[in-house]
Structure 1
Amino acid sequence: MEPLCKVADVIMSPLFNFVKQQLKYFINAADNMRDLESNTRRLIAKEKDAQVVIEATERKGKTPSHQLLGWLDEVEATKADVDAMVEKYKERFLCLNCFSPNCWSNYSLSKTAAEKLVEVRRLLEEGEKLSPTQAALTPAQSLAREEPMLPSSPNPNLEEALRCIKEDQEVGMIGIWGMGGAGKTHLLKQINNFLKGDSAFEPVILVTASQSCTTETIQMQIVTNLNLQQSNDATEQRNIIFKFLKNKSFVLLLDDLWARLDLQDVGIPFPLGVVGECTRKVVLTTRLETVCGDMEVRRTIKMECLNYDDALKLFLDKVGTETINSHPRIPSLAEDVVKELEGLPLALITIGRSMYPKKDPKQWEYAINLLKKSRLHEVEKHSPEDLQNSTFYRLKFSYDNLKSDTLRECFLSCSMWPEDFLIKKEEDLIKCWMGLGLIEVFDHIADAYNTGHELIGDLIGACLLEDHEGVFPSVRMHDVLRDMALWIVHDQGKNKNKWMVFEHEAPRDQEIWHKAERITLIESKIEALPPIATAPSSSKLTTLMLSGNRKLRELGDNFGALVALTYLDLSLCGFVHFPKEICGLVQLQYLNLAHNRMPSLPEELGSLVNLKFLILRDTGIHAIPQGVIAKLKSLQVLDLYHSWGTIDKYLTDLASQLLEELECLNNLKGLGICIEDTSQLNRLVELPNVSVRWLFISTLENSTSFSLSTSFLGDKQIQINLAEIRFINCNVTQVVLEGNHQHPTCHLRALETFKIEGLHCLEEIIWKGVVPEELFQALRELYVSGCDNLKSISWVLHLPCLTSLMAQDCSSMRELIADTVEKEEEKEITSTPTFRCLREIYLEYLPEMVSICHSAFAFPALCCIYVHYCPKLKKLPFRPGNIPSKLLVASYSKGWWEGLEWEDSSVKTSIQLFDKEEREVSESKRLIFCVLP
């Protein structure tokens, strides 16, 4: 019996001690929190002592030791954790019911407080051991004291911020904004360290706003910082702060602001700027550009990610030289990791720290593989208790703060494109959002596109997408943000098969094809899909994106088993016939087959009665069975815009047939169509409830003059919605663009692309009663090709939004802008940049071209001039002082560049020449501009 008792003691004693300890957490919650707060205050006092020494020594040209910086880093993180715990504890109340959620929350907080208390005491002990003289061991390399983000580089953001604070008298509010983890807080603390002790500003106040900040919490931080009298009444506290600051020159540094804060309610004296003898400045940081507007910021500083060299320095600093030098392969592997993180300081720091103990190259290879699979969170390996410090959790605040679930879904959908993909705003993204049901198409499709641009603007303003200027307006998703989006989609990594993005080959695992909800294989160079198992009842796949696979010509066996598909994108593939397997997917709502070469549509297409979007642009279709289109009663958008020539004997009949069937489609909001004569055009205008978005006009054999006004300019539906118009192979000698006397304010406000091709008889474009900037308010792209009798297009001078200008195969064109126009307007031109938005000029096969325009013109946004076979063009329109900073000149005409004449030799040396030997160019010369800066 006695041995059994001993065994029982051995078992029960640890269990008893464990239970006893857990009960202490219940009972001592208040004591634990008080002890934690008390020791944290001691730690903060120690931190302030260290900072005083640091600030004094930095002004003497010294920099703190890494040991002291590391201690300060830990203190900063610990303070944030304790503040969050205290805030949570105050929100709860003590209770006697052990099964109350609040009671269990107190237990959890008490336990965490006890554990955090051990950490605080450790930091206090380490702080006592740190000698203050360690703050000045080496000459300063930078102004940074916390994260050595730019250890050997000048910091232009810091310089700009200090200039605005010290020199710009009119600017009172300065905004630093950028994506989470880009270094905004670090920059603000650099400003704080630099200004501390500056006699021009006393005091300098650094406070943290955060998402849940209130007037009262900001006031409390200020009075603590300034050691002012505290009051429980916000109005009285405001008066105390105001009275103290009203006659002082001060700088308020406000970190991590998420919404407008009324600083006058806080007690900050207004107006800001220089007021009499006082200088009042406020510098705020935020992730949201809209906050800068709400706070009436007058100078903004956009925080971009680090360049590769600085990113590598920061990452290596966090990993440590011991690990980096532990194996010959690790330095090159570290470079691969840095490339995956794309310069985001937050990710570089957290991943760098996580790689500190990894001295085996296989561990690094494993981490790189996870990063390539968008599994950054698995590299960090945060414990459940420490998840709030992980990169994804900290970045997710921006996602959570978006104003609607729709906007959050729009953001997540951007992760369906591959890494580093430039997603075209209209052609790719907005169409996708429409097809997924995230944007509703109501009366006018132009309104839907405007909604899409608004959503894109919101995501750019929240630093969740990067805007990319170019011929095709695009956006890009930072790799780390894309990884975070997939992490969110996959239920924080728990459901990895929900959305699948493949970059090289199609998955052969049948479970993926039936359990995944979305699969993407964009530009993956696949030639075929694997056979799909016939298990239609279990298929969950609703979205399949296969665009850009030029060698894909068949969909494979049993493709029709994917019966749940509602969204199918097969654009830019290699189909030479319409894939009939699609016709069995009766749930399909979005079908995109643009840029394939298909002569006809099958009759079975009429079975897709749920189809809302049918995109058949640039397919060369010239045969559609009678009645097929009319059966698609749900159609909202039908795009049959055809720009690769026509087959005349089919086109007239097909256009007439389509016009009849379109009358049966009551829900049609957006139409792309080809028409051949004015009678068809007039009939198109008369169709009720049809909004023409993309219009292709061909032949017009019976007309020598075409007027944009009398044909359709007065029609409201077309005015509002028309975005692209193309004239091709028309035998007209003049195109008349005239004002409408009955509707003098009418204009093509949505028109962005205007193409004139193969109008060999065209001699002039005449403007009557209207000027280009009124008619073409939004025109971005102008293409003139095959117009042999056209001498110039001087009216382009008046297109305010023109981005891309192409002139090609015009055998009589001598100049883009005639010399007479230049002389008349030279005075105005010299004082005002003419082409404010123009990014590219494309000139090809213009044998008589001698001049682009006068050198007095300015091209501030111009990135590229492409010239091919323009033998008489001997001068470029530039002179010292008006050379675009990003200009690249490209030519494939041998000797052309060497034969150019220059009024000033310095102009030639200032222009970069595109070298075809150094850079691979797409087979389509037009695409050269997509890869420019």
Structure 2
Amino acid sequence: MEYSPLFEPFIELFIKGICHPIKQQIGYCIRPRAHITALTSAMDELRCTRDSINETIEAAERKRQICTEEAKQWLMMVQTAEGDVNSLDHHGCSWNCWSTYRLSKRVAKKRKKVMKLQNKVPSSIVAPSNDPVKEMPIAPMVVGQEPYMQKALSYLGDDTAGIIGIYGMAGVGKTTLLKRINNMIGRTMFDHVIFVVVSRTPDLMKLQQHIAKEVGLILEDDESEMSRGTAIFNFLKRRKFLLTLDDLWGLLDLVKVGIPQPQKFSSSEHKQKVIFTTRSLEVCGKMQASKIMKLECLKWEEAWSLFKLNVGEDTLSNSRIRSLAEVVARECDGLPLALITVGLAMSTKKMPAEWQHAVTLLKSSRLAEISGTEDHDLFSLLRISYDSLRDDRMRECFLSCSLWSEDNNDILKDNTIKAWLGSGLIDEFDDINETYSMGHSIIENLKAACLLEPGYAADRYVRMHHIIRDMALWIASDHGMNKNKWLVQANTRQARVDEWNKSERVSLMNTQIEVPPDACDCPNLMFLMLRENKHLKRIPTGLFPSMPFLKYLDLSGTSIRELPAEVGMLVNLQHLNISFTNITSLPSELGQLVKLKYLELESTWKLVEIPRGVISSLVMLRVLNLFDSYFADWNCPSEEEGVAFEEIECLTRLTAIGITVKDIPSLQRLSNFPNVSVHSLSIRELHGLTSLRLSPTILSRNKTRSLWNLILRGSDWLEELVMGNGVMSSPDWSLPHLESLWLGDLPKLEKIIWSGVMPHACLPSQPSDIDNCWLSVHQERFMDSATSIPPRTTCTELHRDGTSNWS
């Protein structure tokens, strides 16, 4: 049958518009599995395409490239399509034709979407990163850094600050702060933000390669150090950049690296900055940092907050544990790393007894023994600062600071230096001022390394952080292997003899001990410090014979009234300190200590007798200190049993003396001691004397130049004190090192006269005490002008004001 061409369009329209749709709809009912198979196949193909694109992106990210927005959108649509496909319930077909029809229709619709995504694969998948800031990972819990963040950001915005140094002790949060700074800097400030970890032994070429990668600069492997530096320099010199250097241990030559030297004055259009972290203030100086910021330990509220975050409120819900946890947190002394380490270690401890044990260990400077802290290796991290000290002498001086009681946190600098000197850790100079200058230099170096901190009066005291002390004792005890090698205890009531047997150094300060062990076997003991034990009244006779190699003995600040005769058996003793005790006399056996170099008897207010021959027998003595002692009679006739100036004069090795005198001839005789400096002088009980002139005729120039401490008291008739001899032609006569001046119990003293000498040349830098004196101060006028002193002043304190004048 033939159809007329006239009907062909109608037939084609009928087939396409009616038959095919009907066939398709009927197919949904009778061929559901074919639709499902087609969708599954299309989805598998799309997954393969997606996985291939993800591999391309991962490879690009390892090369510091980023995913394009087009690719991100396509991947999100694939993820949505996959979710829709997975949500279809097509595990079987129902006998219900309507249900089968609906399922097949939905499957076909999803297949079209999948195929559309397959046909629209993004043309651009990855692109180079144009973000100058690569965000650094940081701990989720950061406490107490906001003030430092604000200060650092203000420095970065300051055109006068080119190089910025951040220093502080290990574990205080310097790296975390630097990462936070890195993460907060926006691209509007800098074209490039470069984060580099330097480490103790930096490899210059590796640093250059790292910096080049950070800025997208390609360097050849065979390029020289100079060629690399030149390439980096020319790339950065006209760009705004921030170079962050973490963990700097010494001078890093930025010129050799290729970093354009940041200028102190730079415009915002040409902003170039370097900011670095270090443990040493000295490094900040070497790097010529124009702004320096010290990162301190956390305050208590911040420290407790950080500790709680790491322990967890579940553990702290027990009230007994919570109170013990506060003690544990305080022992961490605000050091974030210690708070985190100990907090995490204690987070699983649910019994109060476990917390009590931790308190005991921390109080005994045994942090490393707390279960769970070994994985964090806290002391090994802190030890790097110790290892980086200049030499073994400085390291030994640092370790010896741990022998001072933790409860006596502020340590007088002079006491520290005396201990170093008595232990043979610093050199002996003929001039005591040079010796102490070396000691103060070591202290400042330890402070610069953040191993010591300023005390409450920074010019006179230092302190050691609790965790740093624990680390020092850990090092001294062979990394904890010999626990009692250095034994340091406080607040104990009894000295345990069994703990002393293997000890080389023992320090028991501020304890409740009344009597030390009567007998103990201490063959290795070289250092014994029992100072400031107010309850200690007696030294048993059996103690000293058990310590044949003892070199250092400190009994100062105790309540002992006598030394046993057995002290003469300490034949290797080099340092003996019995200052501030109630001792009334020295035993004659003290003269047997032929190796003794330092004898400290300061403020022995009850000392009335020193047997003849004892002082002269100490042939190795270099320092004798009887400053502010009751003993002041140095003119004993030869036929009487008592010490005289002749015994001091025969000590050929003596370099420094502190002494108490009570007559003018004794003062004059001091000036005749050759090569002996007077570092402390107490003048008392000048009976009948109404005027005292301290001048070159009484105290020679070489004696006054070394004087640190001067006391004048107990002279009932003294009306005036004259400083100088009235001759302006003797300007070298002064008291340049005077640290303290005390005038007391001088009821008739009315005036101090500076005669031919500038007042500021004879006054200490610190406030001085004046007790029980009706006083006016005068200055005799010469052609050279000098500091004016207000006349007729009733004084209770002598002090310097902000203009370096005294009133």
The interval holding the TM-score normalised by the smaller chain is 0.7 to 0.9
Counterpart in the other structure of 1:309: 301
Map 1:217-296 to 2 at 5 A: 217-231=206-220, 232-276=223-267, 277-296=269-288
Counterpart in the other structure of 2:106: none
Map 1:425-464 to 2 at 5 A: 425-464=412-451
Q: 1:380 to 1:272 in 2, by over 3 A?
A: farther
Counterpart in the other structure of 2:570: 585
| Structure 1 residues 902-922: Cα deviation after superposition (integer angstroms, max 9, x where no partner) | xxxxxxxxxxxxxxxxxxxxx
Whether contact under 8 Å (2:495, 2:513) holds in the other structure is: no
Counterpart in the other structure of 1:505: 492
Whole-angstrom CA distance in 2 between matches of 1:280 and 1:361: 55
Whether contact under 8 Å (1:589, 1:613) holds in the other structure is: yes
| Structure 1 residues 690-733: Cα deviation after superposition (integer angstroms, max 9, x where no partner) | 211111112334643322223355432x1342111111233333
Map 1:316-395 to 2 at 5 A: 316-325=308-317, 327=318, 329-379=320-370, 381=372, 389-395=376-382
Map 1:75-90 to 2 at 5 A: none
Whole-angstrom CA distance in 2 between matches of 1:328 and 1:214: 53
| Structure 1 residues 813-844: Cα deviation after superposition (integer angstroms, max 9, x where no partner) | 546799xx99xxxxxx8xxx3469x9xxxxxx
Whole-angstrom CA distance in 2 between matches of 1:175 and 1:769: 48
RMSD between aligned residues? 3.4
Counterpart in the other structure of 1:183: 173
Whether contact under 8 Å (2:634, 2:644) holds in the other structure is: no
Match of residue 519, structure 2, among 520, 529, 532: 532
Amino acid at match of 2:579: A
Counterpart in the other structure of 1:216: 205
Whole-angstrom CA distance in 1 between matches of 2:765 and 2:804: 13
Q: 1:198 to 1:645 in 2, by over 3 A?
A: farther
Whole-angstrom CA distance in 2 between matches of 1:44 and 1:459: 48
Confirm or deny that 1:408 pairs with 2:426.
no
Whole-angstrom CA distance in 1 between matches of 2:507 and 2:744: 36
Map 1:627-666 to 2 at 5 A: 627-642=613-628, 657-666=643-652
Map 1:73-152 to 2 at 5 A: 146-148=138-140, 150-151=142-143
Whole-angstrom CA distance in 1 between matches of 2:291 and 2:761: 33
Whole-angstrom CA distance in 2 between matches of 1:651 and 1:297: 65
Shifted more, 472-481 versus 566-575: the winner is 472-481
Note the C-alpha offset of 1:667.
0.9
Note the C-alpha offset of 1:751.
1.3
Whole-angstrom CA distance in 2 between matches of 1:494 and 1:317: 32
Whole-angstrom CA distance in 2 between matches of 1:677 and 1:212: 63
SS in 2 for 1:553: coil
SS in 1 for 2:584: coil
| Structure 1 residues 189-216: Cα deviation after superposition (integer angstroms, max 9, x where no partner) | 1110110x33121211111111011332
Q: 1:695 to 1:160 in 2, by over 3 A?
A: same
Match of residue 478, structure 2, among 491, 503, 517: 491
Whether contact under 8 Å (1:740, 1:746) holds in the other structure is: no
Shifted more, 662-671 versus 414-423: the winner is 414-423
Counterpart in the other structure of 2:676: 690
Whether contact under 8 Å (2:632, 2:661) holds in the other structure is: no
Counterpart in the other structure of 2:119: none
Match of residue 300, structure 1, among 274, 292, 298: 292
Q: 1:414 to 1:407 in 2, by over 3 A?
A: same
| Structure 1 residues 843-897: Cα deviation after superposition (integer angstroms, max 9, x where no partner) | xxxxxxxxxx7xxxxxxxxxxxxxxxxxxxxxxxxxxxxxxxxxxxxxxxxxxxx
Q: 1:653 to 1:407 in 2, by over 3 A?
A: farther
Counterpart in the other structure of 1:618: 603
Whether contact under 8 Å (1:149, 1:311) holds in the other structure is: no
Confirm or deny that 1:555 pairs with 2:544.
no
Q: 1:835 to 1:686 in 2, by over 3 A?
A: closer
Shifted more, 340-349 versus 197-206: the winner is 197-206
Amino acid at match of 1:253: T
Whether contact under 8 Å (2:611, 2:641) holds in the other structure is: no
| Structure 1 residues 399-442: Cα deviation after superposition (integer angstroms, max 9, x where no partner) | 00000111111111111122142343344211111111112222
Whole-angstrom CA distance in 2 between matches of 1:507 and 1:49: 68
Confirm or deny that 1:565 pairs with 2:555.
no
Whole-angstrom CA distance in 2 between matches of 1:366 and 1:184: 31
Whether contact under 8 Å (1:752, 1:781) holds in the other structure is: no
Q: 1:410 to 1:664 in 2, by over 3 A?
A: same
Q: 1:460 to 1:420 in 2, by over 3 A?
A: farther
Counterpart in the other structure of 1:29: none
Match of residue 726, structure 1, among 696, 711, 727: 711
Note the C-alpha offset of 1:253.
0.9
Whether contact under 8 Å (1:315, 1:348) holds in the other structure is: yes
Whole-angstrom CA distance in 2 between matches of 1:767 and 1:651: 36
Q: 1:506 to 1:217 in 2, by over 3 A?
A: farther
Counterpart in the other structure of 2:7: none
Whole-angstrom CA distance in 2 between matches of 1:767 and 1:773: 10
Whole-angstrom CA distance in 2 between matches of 1:770 and 1:740: 8
Whole-angstrom CA distance in 2 between matches of 1:272 and 1:571: 55
Whole-angstrom CA distance in 1 between matches of 2:314 and 2:66: 28
Counterpart in the other structure of 1:762: 749
Whole-angstrom CA distance in 2 between matches of 1:205 and 1:787: 67
Unpaired segments of 5 or more residues in structure 2?
1-54, 70-134, 781-785, 787-791
Whether contact under 8 Å (1:420, 1:479) holds in the other structure is: no
Q: 1:351 to 1:413 in 2, by over 3 A?
A: same
Amino acid at match of 2:766: R
Note the C-alpha offset of 1:501.
1.2
Whole-angstrom CA distance in 2 between matches of 1:340 and 1:794: 54
Match of residue 653, structure 2, among 654, 667, 673: 667
Whether contact under 8 Å (1:623, 1:650) holds in the other structure is: no
Whole-angstrom CA distance in 2 between matches of 1:198 and 1:653: 91
TM-score by length of 1: 0.67
Whole-angstrom CA distance in 2 between matches of 1:358 and 1:292: 42
Amino acid at match of 1:673: I
| Structure 1 residues 61-80: Cα deviation after superposition (integer angstroms, max 9, x where no partner) | xxxxxxxxxxxxxxxxxxxx
SS in 1 for 2:482: coil
Amino acid at match of 2:298: L
Amino acid at match of 2:200: Q
Counterpart in the other structure of 1:860: none
Whether contact under 8 Å (1:171, 1:298) holds in the other structure is: yes
Note the C-alpha offset of 1:517.
0.8
Whole-angstrom CA distance in 1 between matches of 2:373 and 2:687: 72
Match of residue 183, structure 2, among 190, 193, 213: 193
Note the C-alpha offset of 1:587.
1.4
Whether contact under 8 Å (2:611, 2:642) holds in the other structure is: no
Counterpart in the other structure of 2:731: 744
Whether contact under 8 Å (1:695, 1:724) holds in the other structure is: yes
Between Structure 1 and Structure 2, how many residues are aligned? 670
Whether contact under 8 Å (1:564, 1:585) holds in the other structure is: yes
Confirm or deny that 1:603 pairs with 2:593.
no
Amino acid at match of 1:172: G
Note the C-alpha offset of 1:235.
1.0
Whole-angstrom CA distance in 1 between matches of 2:60 and 2:757: 70
Higher-Rg member (1/2): 2
| Structure 1 residues 42-76: Cα deviation after superposition (integer angstroms, max 9, x where no partner) | 799579899999xxxxxxxxxxxxxxxxxxxxxxx
Whether contact under 8 Å (1:639, 1:672) holds in the other structure is: yes
Q: 1:300 to 1:713 in 2, by over 3 A?
A: farther
Q: 1:312 to 1:702 in 2, by over 3 A?
A: closer
Whole-angstrom CA distance in 2 between matches of 1:426 and 1:221: 45
Counterpart in the other structure of 2:21: none
Counterpart in the other structure of 1:129: none
